[in-house]
Amino acid sequence: MAKKNTPRKNFSDRFRELGLGIGRTTSGKLIDKEGHFNVIRKGIGIHGFSLYHWLINLSWIRFFVFVLLSYILVNLLFAVLYWMIGAEHLTELDATNMHPFWHCFYFSSQTLTTVGYGRISPVGELASMVAAFEAMIGLLGFAFATGILYGRFSKAKSKIIFSDRILVSPYQGIKGLKFRIANTRRNELIEMEARLMYSFLHEENGEFKRRYMSLDLEISFINMFPLPWTIVHPIGDESPIQGKTAEDFSRERAEFLVILKGYDETFNQYVHQIHDYDFDEVVFDANFKPMFDPAAGAGTVVHLDKISDFIKL
């Protein structure tokens, strides 16, 4: 009796274990091309922003432009300061006819980078004080840049590629749902785990709700990942996608969500990657072509550009 009042984990609870909610009814992709969630968080203001996070994830070209613009901006600010103090407090060894503001600007750049040629140098207390402060700011700024640079390239950027399509192929007398992944980096990934979730719209009291179910995999863990891995969900009698057709998947706006986890030996970090296949990326009665080079001699040769190649049966 006591037990009965304590509710068991029911069907709709288990869905929520993914952390994805059940209210989503839109057909837009859950996960974008870069493996991030399509979620917009509002009402948190500036607190959700992290300069470090933003700088770490910037492309290299944008990062470099950001550094360059910051450098110019800081120099301009100090140039204005020196100019207000008076350009005559920055002596020159021999006079040139440069405009005093640029005179201040280049002195600022020579101070900020601590290059300090000395052809222009501060005279008087105020100019000396500002220059002493600027040199400190310069060193801190480049200390900051050093940290960001290290953060940028010490972050494990696994690049696992997925076959474009997910296939329904013959598999050991029954059917199997198959897709293929490979590591494109020289980083050695080990202890790879894979999970496959099936998500679909389900009618409940006349309302459509998105549901999630786990699909069992033939192999869900491999020790090492030097070769491509074909991940297979055997479509047996217990599979929730048993007997489903392309029309079924389309009607229920099916999605297949892949969650990968592994350990990157080069960066000594755990890496995670998520990917989703839409209902229109399912191909029925097809099989993947081999990626190995049959003519290869002593070593094992893999053609990674063939990862999506399949033939209709």
Which of residues 94, 203, 207, 247 is near a second copy by CB under 8 A?
Answer: 94
Quote the CA–CA distance of 181 and 228 in Å, as a whole number: 6
Determine the 3-state secondary structure of 14 from DSSP.
helix
Which of residues 222, 246, 278, 286 is near a second copy by CB under 8 A?
Answer: 222
Q: Which of residues 32-91 bind a second copy (CB under 8 A)?
A: 36-44, 47-53, 56, 67-68, 71, 75, 91
In the complex, least distance from residue 91 CB atom to a second copy, rounded to whole angstroms = 7
Note whether 240 binds a second copy by CB under 8 A. no
Which of residues 65, 73, 77, 190 is near a second copy by CB under 8 A?
Answer: 190
Amino acid at site 279? F
Amino acid at site 180? R
Q: Which of residues 131-170 bind a second copy (CB under 8 A)?
A: 131-132, 135-136, 138-140, 142-147, 149-151, 153-157, 159
53: Cα separation from own chain's centroid: 12
Note whether 227 binds a second copy by CB under 8 A. yes
User: Which is closer to a second copy, CB of 223 or CB of 247?
Assistant: 223
Quote the CA–CA distance of 79 and 112 in Å, as a whole number: 11
Question: Under a CB-based contact definition with an 8 Å cutoff, are residues 231 and 197 in contact?
Answer: no
User: Which is closer to a second copy, CB of 205 or CB of 300?
Assistant: 300
In the complex, least distance from residue 307 CB atom to a second copy, rounded to whole angstroms = 9
Which of residues 88, 125, 248, 280 is near a second copy by CB under 8 A?
Answer: 125
Note whether 207 binds a second copy by CB under 8 A. no
N residues, the chain: 313
Distances 242 to 39, 119, 177, 233, 280 between C-alpha atoms, Å: 31, 81, 10, 11, 18
User: Which is closer to a second copy, CB of 195 or CB of 247?
Assistant: 195
Quote the CA–CA distance of 29 and 7 in Å, as a whole number: 33
Note whether 201 binds a second copy by CB under 8 A. no
Best CA proximity match to 170, nearest among 286, 256, 290, 280: 286
In the complex, least distance from residue 52 CB atom to a second copy, rounded to whole angstroms = 4
Q: How many Cα atoms occupy the beta-carbon half-sphere of 280 within 13 Å?
A: 3
Note whether 208 binds a second copy by CB under 8 A. no
Note whether 312 binds a second copy by CB under 8 A. no
Note whether 126 binds a second copy by CB under 8 A. no
Note whether 215 binds a second copy by CB under 8 A. no
Quote the CA–CA distance of 109 and 73 in Å, as a whole number: 11
In the complex, least distance from residue 213 CB atom to a second copy, rounded to whole angstroms = 14
Rama region for 84: left / alpha / beta (φ>0; ψ in -120 to 50; rest): alpha
User: Which is closer to a second copy, CB of 8 or CB of 247?
Assistant: 8
